Amino acid sequence: MAELTTLASPLDVGGVKIRNRVFLAPMSGITDEPFRQRAYGHGAGLVVSEMVASGELAKGRAGCDLRIRHSGLPVHMVQLAGREAVHMAEGARIAAGESADIIDINMGCPAKKVTGGYAGSALMRDLDHALSLIEAVVGAVSVPVTVKMRLGWDESALNAPMLARRAEQAGVSMVTVHGRTRCQFYQGKADWRAIARVKQAVSIPVVANGDVGSPEEAATILEQSGADAVMIGRAHYGAPWIAGSIASIAGGVSAPGIPHAPQALADYVVSHYEDMLSLYGAESGLRQARKHLGWYLDRHASDVSAEQRKAILTSFKPGEVVAELCRVFADGAQPTSLRSAA
């Protein structure tokens, strides 16, 4: 895996130094502050906030402040989504005011609630309008601006190379490409070779994304795409250490903080749960933590009884949830290996 070793080297993004080239993807409802802190602590080179709707941020809607606030990490990267240039510019200024080091523009989200509002990957259907948003954000802030996109809207319009080239001309410092079209959502296999056409179209760094969860897959996506870095998303469900593990393997070192022993895993999951309750408050935190607890159970305690699983995922009493988590994970559950977690 000769290609893999390149992932251990630093990367410059518009003057911002990134420690390695294995990134945690922004995921709505997932990559909040507790998750990002864990991923970075395990060695991920760069972590990105959840997508923030620029219109809601500009209007001061509740909850947006938690998504953009600085988490204390060396590089604070905020992703914005939207359709209106004035809102995107104002959202970027607000994020920069919260000490964002990099602003990312979402032009890749395939969710209907996003594309239905003509944001996310719907912007790839109108590159002139997409460029007006990029220009508005670049003009509003002095920090580097990046763009995350897909290959195109569908197979008849694979225009990612054109969007990337125009984005670079507008002042964007890096582009990330998910190797699927919007109409594919997450079906089939990401086309890593198609990302190479974007790499050939620009001189700024290109990040390859889609279906990576192991060192072997990271090496292959680099080889096939020619990309400068890799971004990993869904493979982190129940395993915030995946990006850091791959970066550590690339560098020939041990990834920090992975909970290998049963008691360590129990402590890890409980700590994540309690941090979410602290961030959101008990009522909201209970609900938002359940998907993470479900993923931890799926990966590391798949033989948990239906009764225990229900108790963990439906209880409104944090003390009961913590007690059940300790019973499930400390009684012998083991974290999956990096290879089997992919």
Q: What is the mean pLDDT of residues 61-88?
A: 95
Phi, psi (rounded to 5 degrees) for 288: -70, -25
Q: What percent of the chain has pLDDT over 70?
A: 96
Q: Are 102 and 146 in contact (CB under 8 A)?
A: yes
Active-site residue, selected from the candidate residues 64, 109, 183, 326: 109
- Is 183 labeled as catalytic in the residue annotation? no
Can you read off the two tokens belonging to residue 223? 């080889």
Q: Are 148 and 106 in contact (CB under 8 A)?
A: yes
pLDDT at 158 over 70: yes
Structure confidence by residue, pLDDT tens digits, 195-234: 999 999 999 999 999 999 999 999 999 999 999 999 999 9
**Cα gap 212→199, rounded to integer Å:** 18
The mean predicted confidence, pLDDT, of the chain is 94
pLDDT at 181 (0 to 100): 95
Structure confidence by residue, pLDDT tens digits, 229-255: 999 999 999 999 999 999 999 999 999
Q: What is the mean pLDDT of residues 143-159?
A: 96
pLDDT at 2 (0 to 100): 59
pLDDT tier at 74, thresholds 50, 70, 90: very high
39 alpha carbon, distance to own chain's centre: 10
pLDDT at 342 over 90: no
**Cα gap 97→89, rounded to integer Å:** 12
pLDDT at 69 over 80: yes
Residue 211 sits at the vertex; the CA angle it makes with 223 and 247, to the nearest 5 degrees, is 65
Q: Which residues make beta-bridge pairs with 177?
A: 149, 208
DSSP class of residue 338 equals H
Identify the helix (H) or strand (E) that includes residue 286. Answer: helix 282-300
Q: Are 183 and 157 in contact (CB under 8 A)?
A: no
Structure confidence by residue, pLDDT tens digits, 280-316: 999 999 999 999 999 999 999 999 999 999 999 999 9
pLDDT at 117 (0 to 100): 86
